[in-house]
């Protein structure tokens, strides 16, 4: 900003349109860059959501992993846990697994497959879209899932993962 | 049968109360049904592996169907039927792969304790529990020096009880399984342990026990495991058997390590299996040996749905006679030395086309024939020391 205004002020008569154009370009690039940096970052800050019946305010990353690997059958208030996930190749699922759970998507699949095909556990319920995820978590007592940004949905609670 | 009665009695006690507590929710809402099917084509340059492979074998088919039903959040009932055709070793008759009740006795965010009752898959090594599900394997074939297909049933499952405990701490997760019961055996046991199908039947003594211990770091980057099964087989000779009533004692244990990154998974396992044959009579003198095997394996995900496999493995019928010469001499040359070991290079490619379909291809270079089934290769004189294998497989799941 400063360099732009000072350069146009110090040389107001020397080819002003050219200088304006040249300095305006990096400025708009910087602005777009800033938007690209901040906006998707806010978008990809996936959040863990739960049904209204769940009273926990926050859980640890370790606990979040236990819920999504189907190892915790109950909430603190003894409500059965119902886990909802998006398909393995869904971008939101991949982001959530890596950023929130700290697991690679293929690791989750391995854990679920071992349980499904050895009879020692069940798979989470797979939903097709983020909207369906919200709907199912909102309507299932003990439900847990995830969204891109929970502020858009009032019918579910956000659970902070420390 | 006794186990089934036990399970039923247990459920009769617990089932109805939970159903009432759930209110409007139906018991059947939690039912999950999954399945898989696969078909492979196998070609070998020499020696028979999964059928008449020198002339291209299609005799490797896997079909599985399972269901699981949580009676309440603490009790899961599950069962799987498996039809598996594998060359001359298995004909594809459907069998109960597992059928169990998994009961969580205590659970918190720090630990979980429970027991599995019924026919339970043995949690041995990284792959044994789901060894017949193509999607859970790194290749078309598991490393044969550890997960033998010539005698898979002995280590496959147990009719009995398995207690498990898991502890979750900030430094990782620790899990322990203790099991006991009756191993499920078939006539490949005779072919492998007596090198022939003599008239008679194998029974198991009540000395069967299983232990498994795993530690994994947070995020499951590193996993370390130790698992083992101890069992004793008694041979009840038939009228025409040249052998007497002998016993075979088996202790099969595996040390495992696995490291995961986003693109790579590196695995290594080491097997040792001390074996002792006693009292089979003069035709089959008392004998002790220690089978050994290990492999190093890397899988690389080029893309989330395309995976490369590289593996090197070695296995020995007797770790004190790794080149097989001593045993060959003892048998007067009937057994070629190379039948006592296998050294195998494997390269493979896997493509998960979509959520249901997967195809893959695999090449193996073999030195030695230790991993081959005597049932498929009864004429030892026909065995060839160096051979190649090429296989493709298509698999479906839901």
Q: Which residues of B touch A105 (CB under 8 A)?
A: 304
Is B80 within the bounds of a domain?
A: no
Is B217 within the bounds of a domain?
A: yes
B223 forms beta bridges with B216, B258
Summarize the confidence of residues B155-168 as an average pLDDT.
Answer: 94
Backbone angles phi, psi at B308, to 5 degrees: -100, 145
Interface contacts A/B by beta carbons within 8 Å: 98
Domain containing B142: what range?
A: 107-397
Assign B13 a pLDDT band (cuts: 50, 70, 90): very low
In terms of domains, do A19 and A55 share one?
A: no
Are A104 and B107 in contact (CB < 8 Å)? no
Reading the block at residue A75, the tokens are 């909430």
Is B322 within the bounds of a domain?
A: yes
The shortest CB-CB distance from A66 to any of B109, B120, B260 is to B109
Assign B24 a pLDDT band (cuts: 50, 70, 90): low
pLDDT tens for each residue of B322-354: 999 999 999 899 999 999 999 999 999 999 999
Report the chain B residue with the minimal C-alpha distance to residue A110. Answer: B136
Is B19 or B242 the better-scoring residue by pLDDT? B242
Cα separation, A89 vs B260, in Å, equals: 19
Q: For chain A, how many structural domains are there in total?
A: 2
Are B102 and A121 in contact (CB < 8 Å)? yes
Cα separation, B53 vs B46, in Å, equals: 8
In terms of domains, do A32 and A70 share one?
A: no
Is B125 or B207 the better-scoring residue by pLDDT? B125
In terms of domains, do A57 and A82 share one?
A: yes
Q: Provide CB contacts within 8 A for B275, sequence distance 6+.
A: B193, B248, B249, B250, B288, B289, B290, B291
Cα separation, A88 vs A115, in Å, equals: 16
**Sheet strands (E) in chain B:** 32-44, 57-72, 75-86, 90-91, 95-107, 111-121, 157-169, 172-183, 200-204, 209-216, 222-237, 247-260, 264-278, 287-303, 306-316, 341-352, 357-367, 386-397
In terms of domains, do A110 and A72 share one?
A: yes
Assign B11 a pLDDT band (cuts: 50, 70, 90): very low
The shortest CB-CB distance from B220 to any of A94, A103, A120 is to A103
Q: Does A89 touch chain B (CB under 8 A)?
A: yes
Mutant choice from A54, A65, A117 vs B, greatest count of B C-beta within 10 A? A117
Taking 50 as the threshold, does the pLDDT of residue B321 lie above it? Answer: yes
Is B211 or B202 the better-scoring residue by pLDDT? B211
Are B102 and A120 in contact (CB < 8 Å)? yes
In terms of domains, do A37 and A51 share one?
A: no
pLDDT tens for each residue of B356-397: 999 999 999 999 999 999 889 999 999 999 999 999 999 999
Are B260 and A107 in contact (CB < 8 Å)? yes
10 Å Cβ neighbour count for A54? Answer: 22
Domain containing A33: what range?
A: 2-43
Q: Does A100 touch chain B (CB under 8 A)?
A: no
Are B220 and A80 in contact (CB < 8 Å)? no
Are A63 and B109 in contact (CB < 8 Å)? yes
Is B259 within the bounds of a domain?
A: yes
Closest-CA distance, A63 to chain B, in angstroms, reads 6
Burial class (CB in 10 A: 0-12, 13-18, 19+), B156: buried
- Using the 3D structure, point to which of A28, A43, A58 is the last residue of a domain: A43
Summarize the confidence of residues B144-162 as an average pLDDT.
Answer: 89
Average pLDDT along chain A: 81
In terms of domains, do A26 and A80 share one?
A: no
The shortest CB-CB distance from A122 to any of B76, B136, B262 is to B76
Taking 90 as the threshold, does the pLDDT of residue A97 lie above it? Answer: yes
Taking 60 as the threshold, does the pLDDT of residue B258 lie above it? Answer: yes
Cα separation, B275 vs A27, in Å, equals: 77
pLDDT (0 to 100) of residue A10: 45
Lowest mean pLDDT among A38-42, B63-67, B76-80: A38-42
A157 forms beta bridges with A50
pLDDT (0 to 100) of residue A56: 87
Assign B12 a pLDDT band (cuts: 50, 70, 90): very low
Under 8 Å between Cβ of B143 and B297: yes
Model ipTM value: 0.88
In terms of domains, do A152 and A83 share one?
A: yes
Is B183 within the bounds of a domain?
A: yes
Reference B367, options B43, B41, B42, B46; nearest CA is B46
Taking 80 as the threshold, does the pLDDT of residue B66 lie above it? Answer: yes
In terms of domains, do A12 and A58 share one?
A: no
Is B155 or B19 the better-scoring residue by pLDDT? B155
Report the chain A residue with the minimal C-alpha distance to residue B352. Answer: A89
The shortest CB-CB distance from B76 to any of A103, A110, A121 is to A121
pLDDT tens for each residue of B179-192: 999 888 776 776 66
Q: Which residues of A touch B220 (CB under 8 A)?
A: 103, 107
Report the chain A residue with the minimal C-alpha distance to residue B135. Answer: A113
Under 8 Å between Cβ of B311 and B295: yes
What is the 8-class DSSP label of residue A74? B
Are B76 and A62 in contact (CB < 8 Å)? no
Are A71 and B166 in contact (CB < 8 Å)? yes
Q: Does A78 touch chain B (CB under 8 A)?
A: no
In terms of domains, do A35 and A68 share one?
A: no
Is B54 within the bounds of a domain?
A: no
Report how far Cα B179 is from the mean position of its chain's Cα atoms. 16
- CATH number for the domain spanning A51: value is 3.40.190.10
Taking 50 as the threshold, does the pLDDT of residue A149 lie above it? Answer: yes
Is B280 within the bounds of a domain?
A: yes
pLDDT (0 to 100) of residue B206: 63
Lay out the sheet containing A58-59: strands in order across: A58-59, A157-161, A47-50, A143-147, A82-85, A125-126
pLDDT (0 to 100) of residue A28: 66
Q: Which residues of A touch B80 (CB under 8 A)?
A: 117, 119
In terms of domains, do A95 and A134 share one?
A: yes
pLDDT (0 to 100) of residue B195: 62
- CATH number for the domain spanning B134: value is 2.40.160
Assign A141 a pLDDT band (cuts: 50, 70, 90): very high
Are A110 and B301 in contact (CB < 8 Å)? no
Lowest mean pLDDT among A51-60, B124-133, B203-212, B386-395: B203-212
Are B80 and A80 in contact (CB < 8 Å)? no
- In a 3-state reduction of DSSP, which class is residue B178? strand
In terms of domains, do A75 and A126 share one?
A: yes
Q: Which residues of A touch B70 (CB under 8 A)?
A: 122
Q: Which residues of B touch A62 (CB under 8 A)?
A: 109, 168, 170, 218
pLDDT tens for each residue of A13-50: 444 444 444 444 566 666 665 555 555 444 458 999 99
Cα separation, B85 vs B61, in Å, equals: 5
Closest-CA distance, A120 to chain B, in angstroms, reads 6
Report the chain A residue with the minimal C-alpha distance to residue B34. Answer: A116
pLDDT (0 to 100) of residue B280: 85
In terms of domains, do A35 and A66 share one?
A: no
Quickly tell me which residue has 């898979």 as its tokens. Answer: B152
The residues on B that touch A, with CB distances below 8 Å, are: 30, 32, 34, 36, 64, 66, 68, 70, 72-74, 76, 78-80, 98-100, 102, 104, 107, 109, 112, 116, 120-121, 123, 129-130, 133, 135-136, 166, 168, 170, 218-220, 260-262, 301, 304-305, 355
Q: For chain B, how many structural domains are there in total?
A: 1
What is the 8-class DSSP label of residue B93? -
Assign B125 a pLDDT band (cuts: 50, 70, 90): very high
Is B348 within the bounds of a domain?
A: yes
């Amino acid at each position: 900003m400063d360099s732009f205004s000072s350069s146009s002020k110090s040389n107001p008569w020397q080819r002003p349109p050219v200088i304006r154009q040249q300095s305006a370009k990096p400025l708009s690039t910087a602005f777009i860059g800033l938007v690209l940096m901040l906006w998707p970052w806010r978008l990809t800050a996936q959040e863990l959501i739960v049904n209204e019946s769940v009273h926990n305010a926050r859980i640890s990353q370790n606990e979040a992993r236990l819920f999504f690997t189907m190892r915790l059958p109950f909430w603190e208030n003894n409500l059965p846990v119902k886990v909802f996930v998006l398909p393995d190749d869904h971008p939101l699922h991949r982001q959530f697994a890596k950023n929130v759970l700290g697991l690679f998507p293929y690791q989750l699949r391995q854990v679920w497959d071992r349980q499904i095909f050895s009879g020692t556990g069940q798979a989470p319920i797979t939903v097709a879209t983020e909207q369906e995820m919200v709907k199912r978590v909102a309507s299932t007592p003990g439900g847990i899932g995830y969204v891109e940004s929970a502020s858009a949905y009032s019918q579910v609670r956000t659970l902070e993962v420390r | 049968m006794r186990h089934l009665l036990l399970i039923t009695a247990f459920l009769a006690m617990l089932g109805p109360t939970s159903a009432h507590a759930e209110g409007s929710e139906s018991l059947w809402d939690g039912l999950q049904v999954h399945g898989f099917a696969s078909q492979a084509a196998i070609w070998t340059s020499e020696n028979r592996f999964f059928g008449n492979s020198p002339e291209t074998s299609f005799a490797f088919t896997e079909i599985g169907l399972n269901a699981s039903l949580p009676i309440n959040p603490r009790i899961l009932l599950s069962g799987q039927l498996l039809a598996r055709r594998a060359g001359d070793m298995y004909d594809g008759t459907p069998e109960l792969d597992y059928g169990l009740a998994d009961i969580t006795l205590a659970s918190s965010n720090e630990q979980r304790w429970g027991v599995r009752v019924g026919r339970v898959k043995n949690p041995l090594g990284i792959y044994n529990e789901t060894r017949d599900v193509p999607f859970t394997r790194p290749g078309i074939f598991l490393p044969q020096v550890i997960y033998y297909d010539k005698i898979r049933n002995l280590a496959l499952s147990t009719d009995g009880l398995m207690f498990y405990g898991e502890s979750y701490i900030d430094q990782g997760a620790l899990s322990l399984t203790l099991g006991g019961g009756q191993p499920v055996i078939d006539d490949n046991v005779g072919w492998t342990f007596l090198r022939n199908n003599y008239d008679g039947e194998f029974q198991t003594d009540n000395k069967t026990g299983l232990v498994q211990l795993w530690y994994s770091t947070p995020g499951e980057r590193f996993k370390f495991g130790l698992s083992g099964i101890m069992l004793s087989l008694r041979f009840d000779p038939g009228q025409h058997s040249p052998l007497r009533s002998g016993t075979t004692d088996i202790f099969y244990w595996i040390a495992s390590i696995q490291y995961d990154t986003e693109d790579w998974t590196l695995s290594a396992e080491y097997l040792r299996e001390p074996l002792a044959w006693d009292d089979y009579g003069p035709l089959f003198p008392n004998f002790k040996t220690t089978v050994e095997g290990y492999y190093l394996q890397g899988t690389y995900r080029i893309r989330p749905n395309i995976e490369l496999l590289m593996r090197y493995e070695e296995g020995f019928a007797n770790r004190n006679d790794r080149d097989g010469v001593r045993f060959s001499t003892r048998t007067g040359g009937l057994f070629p030395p190379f039948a006592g070991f296998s050294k195998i290079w494997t390269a493979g490619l896997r493509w998960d086309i979509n959520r249901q379909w997967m195809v893959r291809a695999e090449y193996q270079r073999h030195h030695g024939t230790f991993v081959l089934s005597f049932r498929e290769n009864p004429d030892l004189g026909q065995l060839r020391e160096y051979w190649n294998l090429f296989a493709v497989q298509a698999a479906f799941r839901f």
